[in-house]
Amino acid sequence: MRSRESGLRQTEEIVSFAKALDLWYSIEDHLKRAEVKKEDVDGFLSVLEKFETNINSFYECGTDTFLSGDEVGVDETYYLHALKYYIPVHARKPWDDQKCGIGVFTMQEFERRNKESKNMYHKY
């Protein structure tokens, strides 16, 4: 199987972008994690620390590629800013309080209520 970078010229930007993509898979996986199984509780703190490290590494890779500008963070979106500075803090809170992952905070309930209100207008 070919690697992501094999067909591309090996530049610093390409390597950094490929690393950011690899990091994103683990970051995104952790963002969905709501339940921590009993047998995983002891090791979850190290998983959380790895998540925080991955976010910082992702952001650093971004400064070489998709966040590049005259200064670091100039082309940063609000979502990337929140990912770097707020999500790690919010990921620790449910762990410290309830021993669960950040995935417990979803938009599912909001989306359901939003759909209900829109359906009401269509019915009447």
pLDDT tens, residue order, the chain (124 aa) = 345 555 667 888 888 888 999 999 999 888 887 777 777 777 888 888 999 999 999 988 888 777 766 666 666 778 888 888 988 988 888 888 878 788 777 666 667 777 777 777 666 5
Q: What is the pLDDT of residue 2?
A: 46
Q: What is the pLDDT of residue 96?
A: 81
d(Cα 68, Cα 59) in Å, to the nearest integer?
A: 11
Instruction: Report yes or no on 85 lying in a domain.
Output: yes
Instruction: Report yes or no on 52 lying in a domain.
Output: yes
Domains in the chain, number? 1
Residue 118's alpha-carbon distances to 100, 113, 114, in angstroms, are 33, 9, 6
Instruction: Report yes or no on 4 lying in a domain.
Output: no
Instruction: Report yes or no on 6 lying in a domain.
Output: no
Instruction: Report yes or no on 43 lying in a domain.
Output: yes
Instruction: Report yes or no on 28 lying in a domain.
Output: yes
Q: What is the pLDDT of residue 69?
A: 62
Q: What is the pLDDT of residue 1?
A: 38
Q: What is the pLDDT of residue 72?
A: 62
Instruction: Report yes or no on 86 lying in a domain.
Output: yes
Q: Please identify which residue in the block is written with the tokens 């359906």.
A: 119
Instruction: Report yes or no on 75 lying in a domain.
Output: yes
* Domain around 81: 12-123
Q: What is the pLDDT of residue 99?
A: 80
Q: What is the pLDDT of residue 55?
A: 93
Q: What is the pTM of this model?
A: 0.68
99: left (phi over 0), alpha (psi -120 to 50) or beta: left
